[in-house]
Amino acid sequence: MIVTLTMNPSVDRSAVLSGPLALGGVNRIAEAHDSPGGKGVNVARVLAAGGIEARAVFPAPPHDPFVAMCAETGVPATVVPAEGPVRVNLTLTDPDGTTTKINSPGPVATTGTLDRVRSDVTGLAREATWVVLSGSLPRGVPDDFYADLVVDLRSAGARLAVDTSDAPLAALAARFPAAAPDLVKPNGEELGQLAGVDGVELERRAADGDLAPVVETARTLRATGVGTVLVTLGGAGAVLVDDDNAWFATTPAIRVRSTVGAGDSALAGYLLAEARGAPPQERLAWAVSHGSIAASLAGTGLPLGLDPSTFRATVRRLD
């Protein structure tokens, strides 16, 4: 079983615009829909569709519409009772795939909710192969919440993956090696946040075909105790640094419709392949294939139940 924790879940309201976003003007919506979101929820949905037992943990009022939306997906959930409604995030997508995200902060988490989250995740971790800690932290949660959880969960036996950004990511890095997870999945900018370097420059150089800085930065993280580094680079592909090896993968160009959920799908693809005993290069191929297909779907479109024979990733080993 793979357990995912989403501390700041959301109803993802996706709207596809009929034309380019006009700031200060009138924008018309061509199509719109709501789906249960939050990075860990997205990961759990892709894992479950791929035949892997998954459980999504998140705080929410028991009768919040979000809980019913999650139940409709068929993914088992552990709902930690919380105060305040689940937030609604709005994603606006232009016809050319340009995505504008407007995210709500979410309710303030109480001490009781945080204690219950820790207890529930710790109990589930004893029966899990992986625990995935994903996404932003709501108001009222200390920045080092994920770092504390990584340290606390080590004795449970499950491997730990973290996918977050900004202050929680910096707090995690500040606690290496004690809080170093088995897997991190940053994008280029987040890789810079983890290592204390210019992530925008890392992404720019990767887009120009220079992957050496990304690999070097990922290897510095491994030297601080991180097990595996999976770096997603948008249209430029992805890099995997595992043990002494580094791999790079790309997929054929796609029409980008929405990038929401693409990184989560990439992480889920990696874990799906890992659960099947695939070698590192194949895990990377699954990751970029899932991420690419997610980006080709509207809204929070997730690649559910993909046939691996349809993957067209190109993987090569880096020096």
Is residue 305's pLDDT more than 90? Answer: no
Q: What is the mean pLDDT of the chain?
A: 92
Q: Which domain holds residue 170?
A: 2-19+29-318
Q: How far apart (Å, rounded) are the C-alpha atoms in residues 85 and 106? A: 8
Q: How far apart (Å, rounded) are the C-alpha atoms in residues 109 and 89? A: 18
CB atoms within 10 A of CB 27: 14
Domain membership flag for residue 24:
no
CB atoms within 10 A of CB 142: 14
Compute the half-sphere exposure of residue 51: CA atoms within 13 Å on the CB side of its CA: 9
* Residue 142: per-residue pLDDT: 96
Say what the pTM is: 0.92
Domain membership flag for residue 264:
yes
Catalytic residues: 264
CATH of the domain at 185: 3.40.1190.20
Beta-carbon contacts of 181 under 8 Å, excluding residues fewer than 6 positions away, are 133, 150, 160, 161, 162, 172, 226, 227
Average pLDDT over residues 214-237: 95
* Residue 299: per-residue pLDDT: 67
Sort strands 99-102 and 10-17 into parallel, antiparallel or unpaired: unpaired
Q: How far apart (Å, rounded) are the C-alpha atoms in residues 300 and 42? A: 9
Sort strands 159-163 and 130-134 into parallel, antiparallel or unpaired: parallel
Q: Which of 46-55, 109-118, 136-145, 289-298 has the lowest mean pLDDT?
A: 289-298
Residue identified by tokens 């990439």 is 266
3-state secondary structure of 87: strand
Residue 203 tokens read as 């992404």
Confidence grade of residue 197 (pLDDT, cut at 50, 70, 90) = very high
Structure confidence by residue, pLDDT tens digits, 226-252: 999 999 998 899 999 998 799 999 998
Q: How far apart (Å, rounded) are the C-alpha atoms in residues 318 and 287? A: 17
Sort strands 10-17 and 29-37 into parallel, antiparallel or unpaired: antiparallel
Confidence grade of residue 60 (pLDDT, cut at 50, 70, 90) = very high
* Residue 228: per-residue pLDDT: 97
Domain membership flag for residue 132:
yes
Using CA atoms, how far residue 137 sits from 166, 168, 246, 282, 290, in Å, is 10, 7, 31, 32, 25
Residue 225 tokens read as 């105790």
3-state secondary structure of 148: helix
Residue identified by tokens 């989250």 is 117
Is residue 136's pLDDT more than 90? Answer: yes
User: Based on the structure, what is the number of domains in the chain?
Assistant: 1
Q: How far apart (Å, rounded) are the C-alpha atoms in residues 40 and 58? A: 9
Burial class (CB in 10 A: 0-12, 13-18, 19+), 45: buried
Q: How far apart (Å, rounded) are the C-alpha atoms in residues 254 and 236? A: 12
Structure confidence by residue, pLDDT tens digits, 87-130: 999 988 888 878 888 988 889 999 999 999 999 999 999 999 99
Using CA atoms, how far residue 245 sits from 276, 280, 319, in Å, is 20, 9, 8
Domain membership flag for residue 150:
yes
Domain membership flag for residue 153:
yes
E strand or H helix at 274 = helix 262-275
Highest-confidence range of 1-15, 20-34, 93-107, 247-261, by mean pLDDT?
A: 1-15
